[in-house]
Amino acid sequence: MANICVYCSSSSQINNGFTPVARTLGAGLAERNHTLVYGGGTSGLMGVVARTVRDRGSSVVGVIPEKLQSIEGVASDTADELIVTETMSERKRIMYLRADAFVVLPGGFGTLEEFLEVLTLRQLAYHERPVVIVNHNGFYDSLLGFFEELYAQHFARTPHDDLVFVADSSDAALSHLDVALQTPAPTPRE
Ligand code: AMP
């Protein structure tokens, strides 16, 4: 039983092929009785994960800025706990502090921004919690290739695979967490 923060797309325009990735993750989280911590919206993959976790009887914590409630939808009937923040940074901070681990599904700029922050904070040893990226059908291949380039040219001080586990499916991400969460990381210092 852990609090798993999921970053993923808020877009409702993406190909339906991504829906099972979010559904499988949600089902696996619920099966393990994990609590989902997420951005609180109902749109896109965010909504799919949250509805799946909730429908299968596990808890959902949604954190959404006031301004985005009309854009991303409000999961008042999906979240067991809905936290409405004033700002995006406050939202991100609460999600970060509440999480025991982070899972990144396919997403856009928002997902990337959140992912890069937890990756950077891990590189700087602000936390040691597991970070898993679901590279469904190679969705993140170009980004991961760029990370390799950053390391090869010494722009990154740690190879990305020391900081993030690359899973090729949601099931692989869940199996990784099963092991990684057995040794709980210390709670964040700030
Ligand atoms: P996207 O991947 O662009 O669909 O965005 C996924 C989620 O990330 C959405 O809920 C966005 O509102 C959220 N997001 C984008 N930027 C930030 C940020 N700076 N802090 C917190 N959440 C963000």
Quick: pLDDT tens for 38-68: 999 999 999 999 999 999 999 999 999 999 8
3-180 folds as Rossmann fold (3.40.50)
Which one of 92, 117, 134 would you pick to mutate in the ligand 1 pocket, going by the greatest count of ligand atoms within 8 A of its CB? 92
Give the confidence band of 188 by pLDDT, cuts at 50, 70, 90.
low
Give the C-alpha separation, 53 to 163, whole Å: 27
Ligand 1 and 88: CB distance under 6 A = yes
Is the pLDDT higher at 187 or at 128? Answer: 128
Place of tokens 């949601």: 170
The whole-number pLDDT of residue 70 equals: 81
Residue nearest to atom 14 of ligand 1 (CA): 110
The atom number, within ligand 1, closest to the CA of 40 reads 10
Full-model pTM: 0.95
Ligand 1 and 75: CB distance under 6 A = no
Instruction: Tell me the average pLDDT across 120-131.
Output: 95
Give the C-alpha separation, 33 to 6, whole Å: 15
Which tokens belong to 64?
């959404």
**Does the pLDDT at position 149 exceed 90?**
yes
The whole-number pLDDT of residue 181 equals: 95
Instruction: Tell me the average pLDDT across 8-13.
Output: 96
SS3 94: helix
The per-residue pLDDT of the chain, averaged, comes to 94
What ranges do the domains of the chain cover? 3-180
The atom number, within ligand 1, closest to the CA of 112 reads 2
